[in-house]
Amino acid sequence: MGEFNEKATCGTVCLKYLLFTYNCCFWLAGLAVMAVGIWTLALKSDYISLLASGTYLATAYILVVAGAVVMVTGVLGCCATFKERRNLLRLYFILLLLIFLLEIIAGVLAYAYYQQLNTELKENLKDTMTKRYHQPGHEGVTNAVDQLQQEFHCCGSNNSQDWRDSEWIRSGEAGGRVVPDSCCKTVVPGCGQRDHASNIYKVEGGCITKLETFIQEHLRVIGAVGVGIACVQVFGMIFTCCLYRSLKLEHY
């Protein structure tokens, strides 16, 4: 019996240090997850106003929330491990399971939106650009379109001819422009009055393909981070169950 208790104690100590090491890595992973979510919201949020669906935004928010919970859970896991409190281990396991579900949801949403992105952009991007650009209450769209055309060297959704349907161009408020100034290779006030290929991004193609590629790359990152962290958490739940069982045996 004494030999059994000695082996159990040795196994418990090993599990404690293994779980502690895991929690340190888990805390850093949570920081990385939250950073990816914040990066998506802060640096790439300009283009979100061009998307009809809120799925892209939702996946970023899920990552921020999951990352914050992961960091708190990592600290809780360290406390539960060294204090050998089974009630804390139970709470830790529940939080791990909750985060696991959040990460899987983020990964699934990213994958699902990845599949439907092309259809959504084809159906909505041109209308968004032509009907909301330079319209009252849609300053976010205006800034996003200008940044999109300059950053990706494109003009219009499919091509520069799309701007002929623009409510802003037709209204006469454009000051004789046939395309926005952001279509110009060198932006100066009024440069959009001339739509020659030497002046605007006319032969480089429309923005729809470039925006789709850009968002798909970020969805791949979001999906990979979500599913990757979720897989790592499986090991954490296994370690927690083993330590809980070991402490229970020692207790008896």
Q: What is the pLDDT of residues 166-175, one digit of tens each?
A: 999 888 788 8
In sequence order, which residues have a C-beta less than 8 Å from that of residue 70 and are 6 or more positions away?
A: 26, 27, 29, 30, 33, 34, 99, 229
What's the mean per-residue pLDDT of the chain? 80
Whether 243 maps to a domain, the answer reads no
pLDDT in tens, 6-48: 444 666 677 777 777 877 887 888 888 888 788 777 766 667 7
- Domain-located, residue 99: no
φ and ψ of 227, to 5 deg: -70, -40
Cα 157 to Cα 61: distance, rounded to the nearest angstrom = 28
pLDDT band at 187 (very low <50, low <70, confident <90, very high): very high
The CATH number linked to 181 is 1.10.1450.10
Asked if residue 53 belongs to a domain, the reply is no
What's the whole-model pTM score? 0.73
Q: Facing residues of 184 across strands? A: 200
How many degrees, rounded to 5, is the angle at CA 119 between CA 113 and CA 124? 105
Tell me the two tokens of residue 163: 């701007």
Contact 37, 68 (CB under 8 A): no
How many structural domains does the chain have?
Answer: 1
List the structure tokens of 147: 């940044």
Token reading at 226: 């979500």
* CA–CA separation, 210 and 6 (whole Å): 63
Q: Residue 189 falls within a domain, yes or no?
A: yes
Domain holding 169, by residue range, is 104-228
What is the predicted pLDDT for the residue at 180? Answer: 94
